[in-house]
Structure 1
Amino acid sequence: MQMHGISISNENFDWVLKYEHSQKLMDDHFDVVWWRRPRKPYIPNDVNKNDAECIRKENISFYNSIPLILGTNAWWINPCESIKYANSKIYQLKQAPQFNLKIPPTLISNSPEMIKTFIKVHETVIYKSFCPHNWYENDILKFSYTRKVSLDHLPGDEMLQMTPGIFQKQINKQYELRVTCFGDYLVAVKIRSQENPKSLTDWRIAATHELKLEPYVLSSALAANIRNFMRHLGIVFGCFDFIATPDDEIYFLEVNEQGQFLWIEDILPEVRMLDIFVQFLLNKSSSFQWNPTPNPMQLCHYEDQVAQLAKAQMLQHVYLNGIKKTKALA
């Protein structure tokens, strides 16, 4: 468990973090902050149920203050004030057409009547959730993915009303694009998702080694639209997903402001994602451009070291997502 102590007076501000050892944190201690998917405070299940809500609120209030006082002069990936906009799928879809990024016809609703009408009009429709989800079923860990949906697939009206969902007209795919933005430097790969039955609807279902990728050169117009959209969102890093139709139309799906990217180098070692990102961190600029070097950092050089470190850390890892320790270490 982490413990914090913040001392504030008219003259001083001190912050001590205690975990494995005490560490004093200062406002100017950091020059770069990679604010990647921080977990909110975990409240143990065995606390008194009458106290749980109070404990949760107090911890969340403290947690929300951290980015306001941490690294105030640092360069952030991404700025916290922009994250709430960049992480909103609704906001993304509303704003994207203003930057000449075409989107599929979309309904976001918990109205059974509107959902059924949308499916009748567009016939081939997909459903996706706002957030990733996982759960256990018959002792097997399962994940939520984009799925085709028809009137026959819908649950009862009462269940549909429980939560809004994202419904979109299914766009015929020739291939898909993943564009990783390191400031102004864009790395695009073509995902040949339609060549694998597992990845027809959602390429994330296929294992990494099953995906077929190739480097892709963006048109200057699309690259400019992406950069302008990034600036509008106020972010310096993001992973864009697009569909390319058989008629070579490009449809914007979403941008993940803290998406995964090293998996691309796993499949295409010549695409130096790790070296690009390290240079990006050191450059600390949204106008970053990668400069290839004779001896770039390569992901394969660090895999064994990272695996050993991860195994050691597993012993004290807090499993908040339901993954059992025995399975994780198997």
Structure 2
Amino acid sequence: MLLIISSHRDDSVHAVLPKLQERGVPLLWWDEADYPGASTLTTSCLDGRWCQTLTYRGETHDLSKVRAVWDRRPDRPAATEVPEPSQRAFAEHTATVAIAGAYDLMVDARWMPALRQHAAAVDNKLLHLHRATELGLTVADTVVTNDPEVLVPAWNRAGGRMITKTLQFRPFARDGENGHLYTAMVPRRRLTGRHRLRHGPAMLQPNVPKAYELRVTVVGERVFAARIDSQASRTTTLDWRHYHDVTVGYAAYDLPGDISDRCVRLVAGLGLSFGALDFIVTPDGRYVFLELNVNGQWAFVELRTGMPISDAIADWLAAAAARPDLKDSADAR
């Protein structure tokens, strides 16, 4: 059986679901937001035997029968029926811990992109850059620091064309509105306020010249590269994720074999079955690796290029879910 863990509003799951059904994959789509209020999860050890069951929408599922898990983007556990805020927060925290423990015991399942705790452990830009250099990929000069005295030398090395990035996506509130820091230039005037860097580390890199950018989606050993003409619009020059600009073109891209192979090895070497990688292609034809998104979005690439990424995901999940019941096989021996 395949277990899909994601919000029921997830368009990516809706894109893959019909293809899984065409392949005859038995599956359960569950959102953690339905726990603990609308589902029950029971993990037990009785007489030395472990058992895990998930009861949802009137049906009870034996989680030992799950052979594949697609851990997409679930909503948080919600104890909405608990009225007192601190007690509700406690209940939701406990639910999160119970879920994590249940997942850790699902040792017979293959996960996309990886078991939750493992995916979180390797979701680090510095680790990705380090592994990329080990594989021979080109990366930009990079400094991550909270030392204000490092800022000016880094800015000078970049010839005054330095960008800053966050280490990980994290929304925050500013003037009462939700915000997020995208890639931004560091103008000379900001150097006078460099003491603020002490309060939080930043990633500093030179602004690498771009002919265009690539989003490379790896599914198992299959690679789908999309060219993004980010320099066609002023709004997407620094960070194409920041704007939805219809003037920016997307197209399937023939990635050189050695770069494609390194992408697969980077994803697999991190213990992942899926990854979305970002590259710059410079005017002189160099491929500069930027980052790897452990559970990055891909549906927009398929929509704009026609590449069959959803089929590749369905194929991987179907193959994983079709494996024989390992527990029954072990008992037969």
TM class by shorter chain equals 0.7 to 0.9
Note if 1:228 corresponds to 2:271. Answer: no
For residues 218 and 200 of structure 2, the distance between their equivalents in structure 1, rounded to whole angstroms, comes to 32
Q: How does 1:284-323 map to 2 (within 5 A)?
A: 284=320
Q: CA deviation at 1:119?
A: 1.2
Deviation at 1:2, TM superposition (A): 1.8
* TM-score (structure 1 length as normaliser): 0.74
Q: Deviations over 1:39-66 (max 9, x none)?
A: 55568898576x7997676455334313
- Separation in 1 of the partners of 2:103 and 2:74? 11
Who is 2:35 aligned against? 2
Aligned residue type for 1:109: T
SS in 2 for 1:105: coil
One of 195, 199, 204 as aligned partner of 1:162 = 199
Deviations 1:106-126 (A, max 9, x none): 010111111232112212111
Identity %: 23
Q: 2:62 matched to which residue of 1?
A: 26
Aligned match of 2:165:
128
1:97: how far off? 0.9
Match of 2:113 among 78, 94, 114: 78
What letter corresponds to residue 69 of structure 2 in structure 1? V
Write the mapping of 1:44-59 to structure 2, written as runs, cut at 5 A: 58-59=94-95
Paired residues in the alignment total 281
- Cα distance in 2, alignment partners of residues 52 and 264 from structure 1: 39
Question: Which residue of 1 is the match for residue 325 of structure 2?
Answer: none
> Where does the alignment leave 5 or more consecutive residues of structure 2 unmatched?
1-33, 322-333
In 1, are the aligned partners of 2:228 and 2:250 still within 8 Å (CA)? yes
**Rounded Cα–Cα distance in structure 1 between residues aligned with 2:94 and 2:188:** 44
Q: Residue 151 of structure 2 contacts residue 194 of structure 2 at CA under 8 Å; is this kept in 1?
A: no
CA distance in 1, matches of 2:83, 2:186: 39
Does residue 104 (structure 1) correspond to residue 137 (structure 2)? The answer is no
Alpha-carbon distance in structure 1 between the residues aligned to 2:42 and 2:192 = 49
SS at match of 1:215: strand
CA spacing shift, 1:69–1:196, aligned 2, 3 Å: same
- The reply to whether residue 246 of structure 1 matches residue 246 of structure 2 is no
Contact 1:85 1:233 in 2 (8 A): no
| Displacement after TM superposition at 1:276 (Å) | 2.5
Moved more, 58-67 or 239-248: 58-67
Matched, 1:66 2:77: no
For 1:143-162, what aligned pairs fall within 5 Å after superposition? 143-153=180-190, 156-162=193-199
Quickly say closer, same or farther: Cα 1:34–1:147, change in 2 above 3 A: same
Structure 2 counterpart SS, 1:241: strand
Q: Which residue is equivalent to 2:226? A: 189
> Structure 1, unaligned stretches of length 5 or more?
286-330
**TM-score, normalised to structure 2's length?**
0.74
What is the alpha-carbon distance in structure 1 between the residues aligned to residue 192 and residue 285 of structure 2? 35
Q: Is the 8 A contact 1:181 1:237 kept in 2?
A: yes
1:277 paired with 2:310, answer no
Greater relative contact order (Cα 8 A, min sep 6): structure 1 or 2?
2
More deviation, 199-208/2-11: 2-11
Aligned partner of 2:128 among 92, 95, 99? 92
CA offset digits 1:21-54 (Å, max 9, x no partner):
45434232322101224555568898576x7997
CA distance in 2, matches of 1:34, 1:159: 41
Distance 1:251 1:154 in 2: 27
Instruction: State the one-letter code of the partner of 1:212.
Output: G
- Residue 7 (structure 1) shift: 3.4
